[in-house]
Amino acid sequence: MDIKVRELSPIVVQTIDERAKKRGLSRQHYLKELIENYVMQKELNETDQAYKTLIEKNTEALHRFSDQMQRQNEWLESMSEDMDPTQEKG
């Protein structure tokens, strides 16, 4: 698909041409690459943010699970102490 951009400042066009030349690209290929990278970067940023949010939620859930397991272990230990016939009761 073609895209046409009109009425760019000559300074902007000159800068684009210089940057393309430094990279060994034509203006067309340089602008194509620039636009594609811009679009993909936005999508990558959105995906990255979604993964960060997911990791934060999973980390929070793991902390809650760990706390609950610790409480259950403490309860089981207290129950086993109460049931241990070798311990003398005060």
**Which pLDDT belongs to residue 88?**
62
The one-letter code for the residue type at 28 is Q
* pTM, full prediction: 0.51
d(CA 57, CA 69): 18
pLDDT digits (tens, 9 = 90+) for 28-68: 999 999 999 998 998 888 899 999 999 999 999 999 999 99
Confidence of residue 89 (pLDDT cuts 50, 70, 90): low
Q: Which residue has the tokens 């403490």?
A: 74
Q: Mention every residue, 6+ apart, whose C-beta is less than 8 A from residue 27.
A: 16, 17, 20
Give just the sign of the alpha carbon dihedral 83, 84, 85, 87.
negative
